[in-house]
Amino acid sequence: MNKNLLKVENLTMKFGGLTAIDDLSFSANNNEITSIIGPNGAGKTTVFNCLTGFYKPTAGEMLLNRNDEIVALKKFTDYKIAQKAKVARTFQNIRLFPAMSVLENLLVAQHNELMVASGYSIFGILNLKRYRDKEKGAIEKAKYWLDIIGLTNRADDNAGDLPYGDQRKLEIVRAMCIEPRLLCLDEPAAGLNPKESSELNKLLEFIKNDKKTGILLIEHDMSVVMGISDHVVVLNYGKKIFQGSPTETRNSKAVIEAYLGVDE
Amino acid sequence: MQTSSDIKKIIKDSLFTGLISLALFGPIVGLKTSSKGEGLFVTPHIGIVVLLVAACITGRFLIGLNSLRKKEINFIAKITSSISRYMDNKGKHVAITGVMFAIVFPFLPFTDRYVLDVSIMILTYIMLGWGLNIVVGLAGLLDLGYVAFYAVGAYSYALIATTFGWSFWVCLPLAGLFAGFFGILLGFPVLRLRGDYLAIVTLGFGEIIRIILINWYEVTNGPDGITGIPRPSFFGLEFKKFPDEGVDSFHTFFNLEYSTMHRIIFLYYLILVLALITNYFTLRIRKLPVGRAWEALREDEIACKSLGVNPTNTKLTAFAIGATFGGFAGAFFATRQAFVSPESFTFIESAIIVAIVVLGGMGSQTGVVLAAIFLIGITEIFRDLEQYRMIAFGGAMVLIMIFKPKGILANRKPTVTLKDHIK
Amino acid sequence: MEYFIQQLINGITLGSIYGLIAIGYTMVYGIIGMINFAHGDIFMIGAFIALIAFILFGLTGIALPIILFLVLLISMLFTACYGWSVEKLAYKPLRGSFRLAPLISALGMSIVLQNYVQVAQGARVKPLQPLITGGLEFFKDSEFVVTVSYLQIFIVFLTIILMSMFTGLITKTDLGRAQRACEQDRTMTSLLGINVDRTISITFILGSSLASVAGMMFVLYYGVIDFYIGFLAGVKAFTAAVLGGIGSLPGAMLGGLLIGLIETMWSGYISIEYKDVAAFSVLIITLIFFPTGFLGKPDIEKV
C-alpha cells in the first residue's frame, strides 16, 4: 500500500491583503506522526483550517490517500471532511460538549453510523433490536477508548467537569471515534504538565501504531515534537522553511534563526 | 459589620432611587391624559406617585441592608435550588404522581367548569412548551415566532374541517403535517443564521403569518375568523343535547343527564393525551442520535461539524418536529373553541411560550410543566386585576431570569449512562 | 412621477424616525451583544412624555419653537431615565449570563412597560392636535401636487443635526472611544481603567434619548399614539439596524431610511394592508444573502 497519506501542493491562503499561507507544499505518510512547528503567527492553525474544511484555500491542492483512492480535500466543506473524507481534528481551545457526559461526547462522534442504524430515527423510536444492538456497539467502542485513557469511571460525569488534561485526552479519543484516516491535533500538549505530556505521547504512539492512523500535529512543546515525531515541517510567515527528521530539524540553521533570530 | 458610612451610602442610594423613580412615575403615572371632546387634558395624580416613590425608596433601603448581612438571602434561588435537588432525586416519582393526578383531576371535588377550563389552557401551553422545547431547549435555536406554527395548525384544521367535514382524527394529523411542512419551508433558508438574527427573523415570520391571516379575506375570512368548526366527538357520539339526525348522543348512550361538562372533560383528556404523546416522543428522541446531535449543536456547533454532524439537516429536523407539535396543538385549539381568529396568534403568545421553556430550564420537560403552571397561574390569579396581571407576568419573567438565569430545573441528566449499559 | 416624489419624501421622513430608533438598537447590540427588546417601548414612552408635555405647554402661551425645544429636552431627559433604569434592573445583573437570559428579561421588560403605560394612561388612543401645519407645494400645475410639509422638513433637519452631533460624539470624544473599545473587548477595556458600567449606562441613555426624539416626531407626524406603537416600530427599527449591519451607526440610519422607503413605496404602489409584511420580508431576504447586513463586518469565525 502506498505509504503517502497526505500531499499538500502549493497551498495558498489569503485573507484580503494578508497572505497567511504562501505556496506551501509538504507531505505526510501513513503510520507516521508529522509535526508542524513554527513561531506564532506562522500559519499553522490556518493550514489545519484549510485541511479540515473551515477555510476555503485561495489556491493549491490538498490530496488525501484514502485506501489508495486520492481525494481532493478542497471539495469537502466543513462537516463533510469528517463524514466523507475521514479527516478528524481537535482544537487549540478544547471544544467538548461541556454539559453532556463523557460517554455522550463519544456517542455524538459516532452520530452518522448511528443515524443510519436508527433508520433516521424511525427504528429508534420503535426501539427495534437492530438499533439497540448498534447503540450497544457504539457504547462498547466508547468504553474501549475510555479504558485506554483511564476515564472509564468518569463516563457519566459532565465533560465540562473533567480536569484540563483529561479533557484534552477526551477530545482526542472523541476524534478517533469517527475512525479517521488522518488525525489533526492542534497543540494537544498546550497546558499539560510533564507527566501529562508523556501520557499524551504514549496515547499518540498507540494511535499511530495500533490504529494505523496518520497524525498531523501542531505543537510548541518540543518534548512532544522531538519525542514522537517521525517527520517535522517548519513554517515561518506562511512559508515552509525546513522539512526533515526531528534531529535534522534541531540542528538546522534556518530553523534556529526563525525561532531565536540572527545575531545582528 | 455595619458601619455608619455603609448606612450613609445606603441612604444616599435610596434617595437617588427615589429621584429616579420620581422621574419614571412622575410623568406617566402622575399626569394622566384623558379625553375631552376633541382633545386631551391632563389630570394630576400626585398621591399615587408619592406612594410609588416611597415604596421604591423603602425597597432600595431594605435591599441595601440585606446586602450588608454576612450572607445575602436570595429567596428565589433558595426555593428553586431545593426544587432542583428534590427533582434530581425523585424526578421519576414526581412525574408519575403528576400524571396520575392529572388523570383523576376532572373528578376531584373542587374541579368545576372554570378550573377545568384553566387546566385545559395550562395543558395547551404545556404541550406548546414541550414542542418548543425541542427547538429552543434541546437544539438551542432561538425561535421567537412559534405562534406561527400554532396558527397554521389551527387554521388548516379549521379550513379542512369546515370544507371537507372529516373527523377530528383525520384533520389533526393533516394540520400537524401542514405545520411541519411550513417549518421546513421557513427553516431551510434561515437556520444557518446566527442566534440573534434567527430570533428576529422567526419573530418576523410570526408577524407575517398573523398579517396574512388578517388580510387574506378569501381564505382566512380576515379578522372575523373562521367559525362553525365541528366539535370533537367521542368515537361518533356527539356531545350535544339534541344530536343531529342519525347520530347518537353521548349522554343518551351512557345514560347520563346532559351536561356541558362531558364535552369539557373529553377535551381535557384529549389535550392531556396529546401533551403526553409529545412528552413521550421527546423523551425517546433525546436518547436517539438525532436528539443527542441537537444538544451537541446547542453546545458547540463547530465541534459538531468537526465530527461529521450535518448541522443544517439536524437543525431542520428539530425545527420541523417542533412545528408539527405546534400544529397539533393548534388543531386542538381550533376544535376546542370551534372558532379561530387572528387575535389569538399574536407575538405575545410566542413570548409566553419561549418564557415557559427558558424559565423551566432549557431542555427540562418537568421544568416546562412547572413554569407553565406558574406563569399561567399568575395571570389567572391576577385575572380580576386586568392589565396588572400582564405587568406581573412580565415582572415574573424578569425576576426569574435575574435570580435563576438557567431556569428553575436546569440540571441535565445524561440520556445514556455507562452504568446502565454495563448492568 | 410626482406621486413617486411624494412617496420618496414621505419615505425619507418615516425612515428618519426609524433610523433614530435603530441607532439605539445597534449601539446596545454593539456594546453588550444583546437585542434590547424593550427599546421599542422606550420609544413609545418618549412619545407619551412628549404628548403630555405638549398638552401642558399648550396651556401656556409660549411660542411654538420654544415649546418644541423644551419638549425635546424634557422628553429626552425623562426617557433617558427609563433607558437607564431598564438597563440597571433587567440587563446588568445578567451580564455574562448565557445568551438567552437577557433576551427573556428584555421581553419581560417590554411586556411590563407596555402594560404599565396602558394601566397608567388608559388603553384608548391618544390624539394630539397638529402643531406644525402647512408646507411647500411643488408641481402645482400637474395632476398630483407634491407637498413637503414644514413638519417633514423639521423632522429630517433635526435628524441630520442629531446624526452629526452623534457621529462627532462617537468618533471624536473620549466617551466614543471608550464605547468602541467596550464593543471590541470589554475585559481589556476595564483592565485599562475605563469604567465599563458607566460606558454601558451612557450608551443606553444616548440610545433612549434618540428614541425619545423619534417618539416626539411620531406624535407630531401621526397625531395619534397608543401604548402599542412600540412593538411594531421597534421590530422594524431592529430590522433596519440589521439591514444596515448591526453595530454600525451609519448603517442604522441607512437601514432606517431603507425601511421607511420600502414601507412607503409598498403602501403607495401595492397595498397598504401588507406594508408591514414588506419590511419583514425584506429582512428575511436580506439576511439570506447578506447574513451580516449591508454595512456589517463579515464574521470570520476564529476556530
Give the number of beta-carbon pairs within 8 Å between A and B.
126
Chain C residue with CA closest to B400: the answer is C105
Q: Do C277 and B405 touch (CB under 8 A)?
A: no
| Regions of chain A with pLDDT less than 70 | 1-2, 123-125, 260-264
CA B192 vs. chain centroid, Å, equals: 25
pLDDT top residue among C242 and B291: B291
Stated as kind and residue range, the H or E segment containing B285 is helix B260-286
* Span B413-420, average pLDDT: 79
Average pLDDT, rounded, for chain B: 84
pLDDT of residue A1: 47
CA pair distance B378, B374, nearest whole angstrom: 6
Q: Do B394 and C111 touch (CB under 8 A)?
A: yes
Beta pairing class for A239-244 and A231-236: antiparallel
* Chain A contact set for C301 (CB, 8 A): 54
* Chain A contact set for B302 (CB, 8 A): 54, 91, 95
How many residues are there in chain C?
Answer: 303
CATH classification of the domain holding C253 = 1.10.3470
CA pair distance C219, C46, nearest whole angstrom: 9
Give a yes or no: residue C302 inside a domain.
Answer: no
Is the pLDDT at B423 greater than 70, yes or no? no
* Three-class DSSP category at A162: coil
Residue C202's region, left for phi above 0, alpha for psi from -120 to 50, else beta, is alpha
C-alpha cell at C14: 418615516
User: pTM of the full predicted structure?
Assistant: 0.86
Stated as kind and residue range, the H or E segment containing A195 is helix A194-210
CA pair distance B272, B310, nearest whole angstrom: 35
* Chain A contact set for C303 (CB, 8 A): 45, 49, 54, 91
Domain boundaries, chain A: 1-86+179-264, 97-178
| Regions of chain C with pLDDT less than 70 | 291-303
Percent of chain B exceeding pLDDT 90 equals: 24
Model confidence pLDDT, tens digit, residues B337-396: 888 999 889 988 998 898 888 888 877 888 899 889 988 887 777 776 767 878 888 888
- Pick from B24, B41, B195: which is nearest to C82 by CB? B24
CB proximity list for C231: less than 8 A, separation 6 or greater: B347, C40, C41, C110, C114
Cα of C112 to nearest chain B Cα, Å: 5
Q: Do B28 and C90 touch (CB under 8 A)?
A: no
CB proximity list for B40: less than 8 A, separation 6 or greater: B33, B34, C51, C55, C126, C127, C128
Please give the DSSP secondary-structure letter assigned to residue C246. T
- Residues of C (273-302) whose Cβ lies below 8 Å from A: 300-301
pLDDT of residue B386: 67
Instruction: For residue C157, give its domain range.
Output: 2-289
- Pick from B296, B302, B417: which is nearest to A108 by CB? B296
Inform me whether the C-beta atom of residue C120 falls under 8 Å from chain A C-beta atoms. Answer: no
Chain B residue with CA closest to C299: the answer is B194
A57 and A10 Cβ atoms separated by less than 8 Å: no
* Chain A contact set for B412 (CB, 8 A): 99-100
Q: Domain B77-422, what fold?
A: ABC transporter involved in vitamin B12 uptake, BtuC (1.10.3470)
A134 and A115 Cβ atoms separated by less than 8 Å: no
CA pair distance B178, B182, nearest whole angstrom: 6
Q: Domain A1-86+179-264, what fold?
A: Rossmann fold (3.40.50)
* Chain C contact set for B211 (CB, 8 A): 273-274, 276-277
Could you tell me where the beta strands, DSSP code E, fall in A18-84?
A: 18-29, 33-37, 59-66, 69-72
Q: Do C303 and A45 touch (CB under 8 A)?
A: yes
The CB density around residue A148, as the number of other CB atoms within 10 Å, is 17
Inform me whether the C-beta atom of residue B423 falls under 8 Å from chain A C-beta atoms. Answer: no
Q: Total domain count for chain C?
A: 1
Q: How far is CA C284 from CA A4, B195, C80, C278, in A?
A: 48, 14, 32, 10
Domain boundaries, chain B: 4-73, 77-422
pLDDT of residue A105: 93
Beta pairing class for A87-89 and A69-72: unpaired
Inform me whether the C-beta atom of residue B418 falls under 8 Å from chain A C-beta atoms. Answer: yes
